[in-house]
Amino acid sequence: MKMKKRALVSVSDKAGVVEFCKGLVENGFEIISTGGTAKALKDAGLKVIGISEITGFPECLDGRVKTLHPNVHAGLLAMRSNPEHMAQLEKLNINTIDIVCVNLYPFKATLAKGADFAECVENIDIGGPTMIRAAAKNYQDVAVIVDPKDYDKVLSELKTGGVTLETKKYLQYKVFAHTAVYDSLISNYLAAQLGITFPEQVTFAYEKAQDMRYGENPQQQAVFYNEQFIRSGSLSSAKQLWGKELSYNNINDANGALELLKEFANTPAVVACKHANPCGVGTGKSVFEAYMRAYESDPVSVFGGILAINGTVDKDTATEINKIFIEIVMASDYTKEALEILEQKKNIRLLKIDNIAAKREKSAFDMKKVYGGLLVQQYDESLIHGEDLSLLSKKAEVEETLTPAGKPKTVYGMGVVTKRAPTKEEIKAMLFAWKVVKHTKSNAIVIGKDGRTTGIGMGQTNRIWAAQQAIAHAGKEAKGSVMASDAFFPFPDCVDECVKAGITAIIQPGGSIQDKASVEACDAANIAMVFVGDRHFKH
């Protein structure tokens, strides 16, 4: 039998498919199709061979079984260079299929609209993946298209003699990338339905958002991928209003600022960030007041930094921002006057992020790639152990016990561990500083007062250096400030620095074998100290 040129077309995304099939017909192809695709092509005036005419069997089970048939898969998998394969097709009266154009049931869209379990399962494609994988396996003889963006390329090559082997290999790659993402969405959805947090095997699906000019340094290539589902209040959801594309470092640093900003959902707040570390944080009754407090926290480091703002940038705030060089401003919105002012700067990037203070979804995970592996953990969503803010004012229980060696030991519970309890103003300042230190690279110390940071020490290899750095940055502003430490004081030396600087209250997790020495040093200087349990290492 003489083999006819045939293409099998069955798509859920029908964008451009009519034009593509018209091009196939002009190049001598017969079109085989199914269901809704066949109807769309017929309505456009194209002659279509129904899949049942090929299989000799009706579509059944509500369309669950259409293409799962030897007359289809033998036509896809037969190797044209293998005489035995071709002889078997001749004997079985099966025609080859040279082009497959299929994209899969819209499982992602079904998830996105919040469909129930039954509807999600019904939108798991079976015949589609089977067909495109079969065609891709036989890539040298079959061109398989899963992306409408490739229609023009295939038609162009058909007009000049046929789809090239190089293009067929590229299309083969796209098939297995497509099915890998598709299956990862399904497996992760099913794991979530079963409450499986950390499966034995895991895959993650991402889509390229943009190529970057380079990575952290010019000699490194880089790209930014978005998760399949854009998360509210994330950088992926940002709308860029002004400025050139974000760089690798821009995105990384901006994310650090954004994560800290989410701690301040109920008050105007501004986070100034450099190298993913806060360099100034302010809150206030207005965005303008919050910005001024953040700026005054460290007017040197904020130069060339990133601002995250959980409100609308107005004319006055924009005027102040424009007095210095800022790389990026992220905000809930901007007034028309603010945009006109900020857009006077050529090199600033302006991002609008709806719901900028939105908390992370529970299904989100913090991941860090290491060479040869992947570290995955839940995000650090807690603030104070048990979220019990009363710990900041109530007295901690203290137990006198003995070490295994029989030496006296004092064990402190959570709460106020010093003779003096913090004042209401100190409690307010401690809670503010504690939110900031949670998002500062460890070892981290933050000191602050009056709704703003006064000094930040971060990323040091010992805690006393972080304390000294924060106090040095604060200068005279350290007096009357409070201190937050992301982990316990291993020695009372940090308290000694607080005494010299005039710091009045300290918040820390507690739990050191030297806790008693630190508490006694505080008592001697009339400093209030609170233990809150949870530490906040950030690396």
Tokens of 13: 């995304």
CA–centroid distance for 280 within its chain: 24
3-state class (DSSP) for residue 308? strand
Question: What amino acid is encoded at 13 in this protein?
Answer: D
Tokens of 388: 């019990």
Q: How many CA atoms lie within 13 A of 326 on its CB side?
A: 29
Question: CA-CA distances (angstroms) from residue 82 to 41, 78, 281, 359, 457?
Answer: 34, 8, 71, 59, 71
Q: Annotated catalytic residue: which of 108, 137, 394, 428? A: 137
- Rounded to whole angstroms, the Cα distance separating 72 from 52 reads 10
- Residue 137 annotated to the active site: yes
* Residue among 14, 69, 108, 275 flagged as catalytic: 275
Question: How far does the chain reach from its first CA to its final CA, in angstroms?
Answer: 68
**DSSP H helices in 277-401:** 287-297, 315-321, 336-342
- Report the distance separating Cα 79 and Cα 163, nearest Å: 16
Query: Each residue of 467-502: b (16+ CB within 10 Å) or e?
Result: bbbbbebbeebbebbbbbbbbbbeebbbbebbeebb
Cross-strand bridge partners of residue 306: 273, 328
For residue 532, give both structure tokens. 């809150």
- C-alpha triplet 319, 454, 296: angle, nearest 5°: 15
Q: Which residues are catalytic?
A: 137, 275
